[in-house]
């Protein structure tokens, strides 16, 4: 039996540390793109973080301070716009308060328990299909941290390309881009600085303003009825898109019910709204950031498709809606 002397122990430790240092990059390099997406899904649900995000859309850039914490399964978040009207969003579980200090108002909304502010890709159990290629295309530094850059490229013109930069250590997305077919970024969210996995103090999640004398507005109560078997269907859905849900929803402030049908390819989503009153005009084509809409009249119904997809997609989906 060979006894390990002090020198042997040091040697062993050095060897272990050396192996760990050597193995870490190998493990990162060995991960496939889908492994990285799984890590990202887990990271955005479980990681505490705070930092500054730059959001660029429609040629406008704005900075947001973000604090995010998960404790006992409850998500708490605070988002502060650094420019403009000082918008501040406070989230405590599924209740969200949007504070508008300039108007001394608070808008109250309810969010899905599991939704997160910073999530631009589907969770691992909602994998997109063969309509996209996922590749690791580069290694870069973002917010002072090493990242792998993933490109999620569509095979056709019916969806946008996504780029996402994931933190090598945690899998957390430090930058995301939505890319138009000409290669330009339609929307971008990027951390300028971030602290990951550190303890978040409760005081960091409190509103910056006293809202004592503010007016509070509740979210309009939505009147939604699920539709099991819609009489409407698309006869020419772009490949990969499937029906996710269909429901009747009464539009806020009116008694008018519209049918809302949601299609998705797992990454891109298109909503179709069907209103019985075709005489109510909706702009035929419009665009806000990456979101396009197209409206037309079919069988005396006003059909409007909306989604973060190219204009051709909403036009094809809306135009192909037919009564069964």
Binding to another protein in span 98-157, by CB under 8 A: 98, 100, 103, 105-109, 111-112, 115-120
Per CB under 8 A, does 281 bind another protein?
yes
Give residues 7-66 in contact with another protein (rule: CB under 8 A). Answer: 48, 53, 55, 57-58, 60, 64
**According to CB under 8 A, which one of 131, 161, 265, 308 is a site residue for another protein?**
308
Per CB under 8 A, does 230 bind another protein?
no
Identify the bridge partners of residue 233 per DSSP, sorted by sequence position.
322
Q: Are 48 and 68 in contact (CB under 8 A)?
A: yes
**According to CB under 8 A, which one of 197, 220, 231, 236 is a site residue for another protein?**
220
If the CB atoms of residues 38 and 109 are measured against another protein, the closer one turns out to be 109
Question: Coil, strand, or helix at residue 21?
Answer: helix
Measuring CA to CA, how many Å separate 13 from each of 20, 24, 25, 27, 284?
A: 10, 16, 19, 20, 69
Which of the ranges 4-12, 33-41, 129-137, 201-209 carries the binding residues for another protein, by CB under 8 A? Answer: 201-209
If the CB atoms of residues 134 and 200 are measured against another protein, the closer one turns out to be 200
Residue 259 buriedness (CB in 10 A; 0-12 / 13-18 / 19+): buried
Which distant-in-sequence residues (6+ apart) come within 8 Å of 144 by Cβ?
193
Q: Are 65 and 83 in contact (CB under 8 A)?
A: no
- Give the position of tokens 């999620």: 152
**According to CB under 8 A, which one of 202, 225, 300, 324 is a site residue for another protein?**
202
If the CB atoms of residues 192 and 251 are measured against another protein, the closer one turns out to be 251
Say how far apart CA 60 and CA 188 lie, in whole Å: 10
Give residues 256-275 in contact with another protein (rule: CB under 8 A). Answer: 260, 262, 264, 269, 271, 273
Give residues 62-91 in contact with another protein (rule: CB under 8 A). Answer: 64, 69, 71, 76, 79, 87, 89-90
Per CB under 8 A, does 184 bind another protein?
no
Q: In the structure encoding, which two tokens stand for residue 279, read together?
A: 């005489």
Per CB under 8 A, does 179 bind another protein?
no
CB of 231 to another protein, least distance (A): 20
**According to CB under 8 A, which one of 24, 63, 288, 323 is a site residue for another protein?**
288
Residue 178 buriedness (CB in 10 A; 0-12 / 13-18 / 19+): buried
- Give the position of tokens 């930069």: 165
């Amino acid at each position: 039996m060979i006894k390990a002397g002090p020198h042997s122990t040091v040697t062993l430790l050095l060897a272990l540390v050396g192996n760990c240092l050597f193995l870490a990059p190998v493990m990162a390099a060995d991960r496939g793109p889908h492994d990285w997406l799984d890590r990202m899904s887990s990271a955005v649900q479980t990681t505490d973080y705070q930092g500054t995000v730059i959001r660029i859309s429609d040629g406008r850039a704005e900075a947001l301070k973000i604090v995010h914490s998960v404790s006992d399964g409850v998500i708490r978040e605070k988002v502060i716009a650094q420019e403009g009207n000082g918008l501040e969003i406070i989230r405590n579980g599924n209740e969200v308060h949007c504070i508008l200090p300039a108007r001394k108002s608070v808008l109250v909304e309810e969010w899905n328990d599991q939704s997160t502010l910073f999530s631009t890709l589907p969770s691992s159990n909602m994998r997109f299909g063969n309509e996209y290629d996922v590749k690791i295309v580069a290694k870069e530094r973002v917010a002072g941290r090493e990242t792998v850059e993933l490109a999620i490229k569509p095979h056709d013109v019916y969806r946008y390309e996504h780029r996402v930069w994931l933190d090598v250590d945690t899998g957390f997305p430090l930058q995301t881009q939505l890319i138009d077919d000409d290669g330009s970024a339609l929307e971008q969210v990027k951390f300028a600085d971030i602290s990951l996995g550190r303890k978040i103090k409760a005081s960091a999640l409190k509103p910056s303003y006293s809202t004592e004398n503010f007016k509070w507005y509740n979210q309009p109560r939505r009147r939604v009825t699920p539709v099991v078997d819609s009489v409407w269907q698309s006869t020419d859905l772009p490949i990969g898109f499937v029906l996710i849900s269909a429901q009747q929803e009464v539009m806020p402030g009116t008694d008018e019910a519209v049918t809302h049908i949601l299609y998705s390819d797992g990454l891109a989503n298109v909503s179709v709204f069907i209103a019985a009153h075709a005489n109510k005009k909706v702009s035929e084509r419009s665009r806000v950031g990456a979101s396009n809409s197209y409206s037309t009249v079919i069988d005396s119904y006003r059909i409007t498709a909306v989604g973060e997809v190219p204009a051709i997609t909403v036009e094809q989906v809306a135009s192909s809606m037919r009564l069964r």
